[in-house]
Structure 1
Amino acid sequence: MTTLEFDYVIVGGGSAGATLAGRLSEDPATTVCLLEAGGPDKSVLIHAPVGVVAMMPTKINNWAFQTVPQKGLNGRTGYQPRGKTLGGSSSINAMVYVRGDRWDYDHWAALGNEGWSYDEVLPLFRRSEHNEQFDDAFHGQGGPLNVTYPRHTSPLNQMFLDAAALNGVGLNADYNGVRQEGAFMYQVTHRNGERCSSAKAFLTPHLGRPNLHVVTHALSTRILLRGRRATGVEYLQGNAGKRVTARREVIVSSGAFGSPQLLLLSGIGPAAELQAMGIPVAQHLPGVGKNLQDHIDYVQAWRAPSDTQTFGVSLRGTAKMTAAIFEWRKQRSGMLTSNFAESGAFICSRREHSRPDLQLHFILAIVDDHGRKIHAGHGISCHVNVMRPYSRGQVSLRSREARDAPVIDPNFLADERDLQLLLRGGQLQQRIIESSPFDGARGDMIYPVRADDAAAMTEDIRNRADTQYHPAGTCKMGPASDPMAVLDARLRVRGIDGLRVADASVMPTLIGGNTNAPSIMVGEKAAQMVREDARHA
């Protein structure tokens, strides 16, 4: 078996992993190997923002995982799309740039994670960012991650903002600034009318660096250990087994599902579960795969006249999209630059709350079952999700084979408080969309339910709610006093030298908002800590 050696081996080229590889390889004296299970990020479906509609419901650049049947969702099996290409989920997501609330990071620090308060992570967000609209204490200039507004914006977004205001949700020009609450146009990770994924920002511009070695179609199967030290990674390319060794560290950045799976396959996790699988126990860590949190999401959709500026299945819509293809190819403008979720809001379920606990995404199309169920004609949708869910799930092994998808159990709505919050959110978003600004642009509901019929809406939630695509927490960081903490605050795996995890799985609690920007921040933070620890070694 051929073995190559580097200073650092990173498993996973997603939001955090691509960031980490790009940052560490800035030092020409440091050698970095990045292993990515998917392929290069060359597809036009990645680069054209509207391509998300083709990738999200399919296996194109997508792991397309399934959950176990969810008791809280009337026994339904949920869907969990995850990016399988350079850039990971930042290459297939809706590109909205959301950091979360100041409270989220101060809460992490209060849990015993030194260095993770809002004031300490804000410089990392700013370091990554080049914001085309905001240049202030909250936003960065000159960073590799371009943040701006979509070049295409439908007039229906103004209807949403006006309707939100009629329902007590005022305009907030910058939800990543002083305060989060309010309605707004989403900031997105675009550059010149194209998607700006973590790979396009931090990695692919630097593939010519002689100290950066990127291996695609490389499925990592096991972390190599010598005693209690990580020394490398075994992986598969096709059916060929290969390995790469790390002089300094192995860093796992395979996401909230992939990272715990690889640790478990390597004998790091709950001893009883490993023994039941016939995997020798290298380090008993009961928290590996536990603490899974995800934003439970409820979508309501309405039909709309075909002449409104929405996306849909119609002769007129097909003609518009055909013209838009040529416009995008020539000018990188027009409808193909839309991310569909152009506007939204952070709202408080109760007036007395001090911070938002519900998030809305207003969508310029009918969305049903993650886009897997197509409706003829045009329409609009609105998503609402519970920002800080109380329910906790887990990720475990299906088998000892890395090719087999992990067992994913989000345990959605196991805590009654999540259901009550989502019900409240569904009622609020329905009142917004059914307000007067949408008169003439809003037709019948796809799944009719009255906002004041709590029982009917509760049943509709259980029948149709699912993920908002933000799984986190399965390798959480925490103090030594927390027996379920997998990592310390420097993202080092407890009991194993030379091994870290850096991605959304490290979050002790899910942040209030989309997780791509925070995952990129985790990559920035990990690179900073790796460099510091190397200097002091």
Structure 2
Amino acid sequence: MTQAEALGGSFDYIIVGAGTAGCVLANRLTEDGKSRVLLLEAGGSDNYHWIHIPVGYLYCIGNPRTDWMMRTASEPGLNGRSLAYPRGKVLGGCTSVNGMIYMRGQAADYDHWRQLGNPGWAWEDVLPYFLKSEDHHAGRTDLHGSGGEWKVSRQRLTWDILKAVQQGAAEFGIHPREDFNDGSNEGTGFFEVNQTKGVRWNTAKGFLRPALKRSTLTLITHAEVERLLLDGTRVTGLRFRHKGRAHVVQAGREVILAAGAINTPKVLELSGIGDPDVLRPLGIPVTHAAPGVGKNLQDHLQIRTVFKVHGARTLNTLANSLVGKAWIGLQYLAARSGPMSMAPSQFGMFTRSDPSLETPDLEYHVQPLSTDKLGDPLHPFPAITVSVCNLRPDSVGTCHIATADPARQPDIRLNYLSTANDRDVAVRSIRQARQIMSAKALAPYRPEELLPGPGIDSDDEILSAAGNIATTIFHPVGTCRMGTDPAAVVDPKLRFNGLSGLRIVDASIMPKIVSGNTASPVVMIAEKAADMIRGR
């Protein structure tokens, strides 16, 4: 079907969002050559060169061409600060602008999902779907796949200062780990990334491009969904705006929301599906009461500690000289290597904030660069950033529309550091980062703490400093959580509770955030959902 025919047509499936999950779904649901699928994307094409050059994330986040430019509400736990909240605005969604880290999380995360009332979502259930997509650099094993659409590569450069951090961590019992993705990510290592030959690999390349060759898939970009259409308790289609005109399309089987943890609840609430106490004050008629929509918002908050180092090569020194910049460019042009090929974080550590915990609750992203804050120029001296985040925060927020205008962003409230446990973990994590940087292996580099600062010592001072320097690591999940309890938004097959013809497939269905980066778990969710949709 041509795009012109699609504007007002009928399809078997309508997918809202051509991001991480939507591209996977578009591929899988058109594999049979029979199902007619319409894929709607509010953003545009991913044909911007900085998307594909890995270091280009610096020019994509905060760029209205590639980022929806959202912001959180003022956060009391962050001393009243409002944070920039990047979301991908192009095909591939956040896989076009994220840090490219390939991470599944811990087996215990998924086993916990099952314990929360979600049969079929334990580690043993989801592992086959991770393997199905994967094209791992080391080939097929019991724990990795080969030949799939989701490429996983080793990084193409190393830094001596990061190797020294690894040696230092070992002095405190955090030892090297060969594979972060075997179900237990405890230890240290260099992150594997979603790249191929030094170029970003997003879900648009891996899943959508091949599917667009099929006549049964129609893609429309710059398509802003205004509302879902209901016939009683069945979702029959939707209304969207494209090039200034409104269009209505029908779904014979299902509408599938894959707009992400921020925009999926927005679409639902604009349609009158949600908490009546949220909708009625905005003048939106309640078409289906679902109080759980927009609640249970979870995210990983990262605390950026920064250390000046001596006698070490870091990106700061290279990028702040004309010779260094020229060398960086030549490395990438000649071999697709060097700093332009690097992910934002190269080296990771997973460990416990408390020895009594069964599994790691902290993830470190260690970077051979530093700034006063994200988006600022690099410091003119060698330094590294040792970011640490609480993998399993207790703090839970909300994401609700604040107006009936589809063009307005939702009200995003993370409630970071709103629980005593999260505040305690923040303090312990900063103290732990300092301890690691005091290791004998790092002594030759004479680390000097810049953030939060060596004079900040008491728990209260450290917590206040954390509120000043912490920021999101862009992992929102949970706003349409799955479950079998009355408050759950979708059931374990991701069907919307109380409505037929509607399914949700994205990070919003996670009942609890995973213990790691979230992109590849969303790919897995979409793979599993595609089988459930097709009745497999």
Give the alignment of 1:179-258 within 5 angstroms. Answer: 179-258=184-263
Counterpart AA for 1:501? I
Mapped contact 1:340–1:364 kept (Cα < 8 A): no
Q: How does 1:40-189 map to 2 (within 5 A)?
A: 40-133=45-138, 135-189=140-194
Q: Which deviates the most, 383-392 or 197-206?
A: 197-206
Alpha-carbon separation, structure 1, partners of 2:175 and 2:33? 49
Quick one: structure 1 residues 388 and 444, their matched pair in 2 at CA, closer, same or farther if it must change by over 3 Å?
Answer: same
2 CA distance for matches of 1:100 and 1:7? 34
Verify: 1:389 aligned to 2:423, yes or no.
Answer: no
Choose 286-295 or 369-378, whichever is displaced more: 369-378
Secondary structure of residue in 2 paired with 1:18: helix
Aligned to 1:528: 531
Given that residues 319 and 325 in structure 2 are in contact (C-alpha distance below 8 angstroms), is that contact kept between their aligned partners in structure 1? no
Partner of 2:454: 449
TM-score (norm 1): 0.95
Q: CA deviation at 1:451?
A: 7.6
Equivalent position SS for 1:77: coil
Matched, 1:419 2:388: no
**CA RMSD, Structure 1 to Structure 2 (Å):** 1.9
> 1:510 and 2:500 equivalent?
no
Deviation at 1:314, TM superposition (A): 6.6
CA contact (8 A) 1:391 1:413 kept: yes
**Aligned ranges for residues 33-44 of structure 1 at < 5 Å?**
33-44=38-49
Residue 247 of structure 2 aligns with an amino acid whose one-letter code is K
Please say if residues 25 and 212 of structure 1, whose CA atoms lie closer than 8 Å, have aligned partners that are also in contact.
yes
Partner Cα distance (1:243, 1:442) in 2: 64
Alpha-carbon spacing, 1:178–1:81, altered in 2? closer, same or farther (3 Å): closer
The match for 2:289 among 280, 284, 287 is 284
Shift of 1:240: 2.1
Equivalent residues of 1:189, 1:196 under 8 A apart = yes
Judge conservation of contact 1:57–1:372 (CA < 8 Å) in 2. Answer: no
Distance 1:330 1:241 in 2: 48
Distance 1:182 1:134, change over 3 A: farther
Q: Of residues 336, 352, 367 in structure 2, which corresponds to 1:348?
A: 352
- Offset of residue 58 of structure 1: 3.6
The match for 1:21 among 13, 22, 26 is 26
* Aligned-partner Cα distance in 2 for 1:63–1:228: 32
- Residue 369 of structure 1 aligns to a residue whose secondary structure is coil
Deviation at 1:345, TM superposition (A): 0.8
- Structure 1 unpaired stretches of 5+: none
Superposition deviation, residue 315 in structure 1: 6.7
Kindly tell me: are residues 346 and 314 of structure 1, through their superposed partners in 2, closer, same or farther at Cα, counting changes over 3 Å?
A: closer
| Paired residue secondary structure (1:463) | helix
Aligned-partner SS, 2:229: strand
Are 2:398 and 2:414, in contact at CA under 8 Å, matched by a contact in 1? yes
Which range is displaced more, 354-363 or 218-227?
218-227
Unaligned runs of 5+ in 2: 1-5
8 A Cα contact 2:437 2:447, kept in partner: no
TM norm structure 2: 0.95
Q: Match of 2:332, as an amino acid?
A: W
The number of aligned residues is 530
Q: How far did 1:318 drift? A: 4.1
One-letter code aligned to 2:345:
A
Shift of 1:325: 2.6
Q: Which runs of structure 2 are paired with 1:428-507 in the superposition (5 Å)?
A: 428-441=432-445, 443-447=447-451, 448-449=453-454, 453-479=458-484, 482-507=485-510
**Deviation at 1:148?**
1.5
Moved more, 350-359 or 284-293: 350-359
Q: 1:71 to 1:178 in 2, by over 3 A?
A: closer
The reply to whether residue 6 of structure 1 matches residue 11 of structure 2 is yes
| 1:259 CA drift (Å) | 0.4
Taking the aligned partners of 1:372 and 1:235, their CA distance within structure 2 comes to 38
Give the structure 2 partner of residue 295 of structure 1: 300
Partner of 2:342: 338
Distance 2:446 2:63 in 1: 29
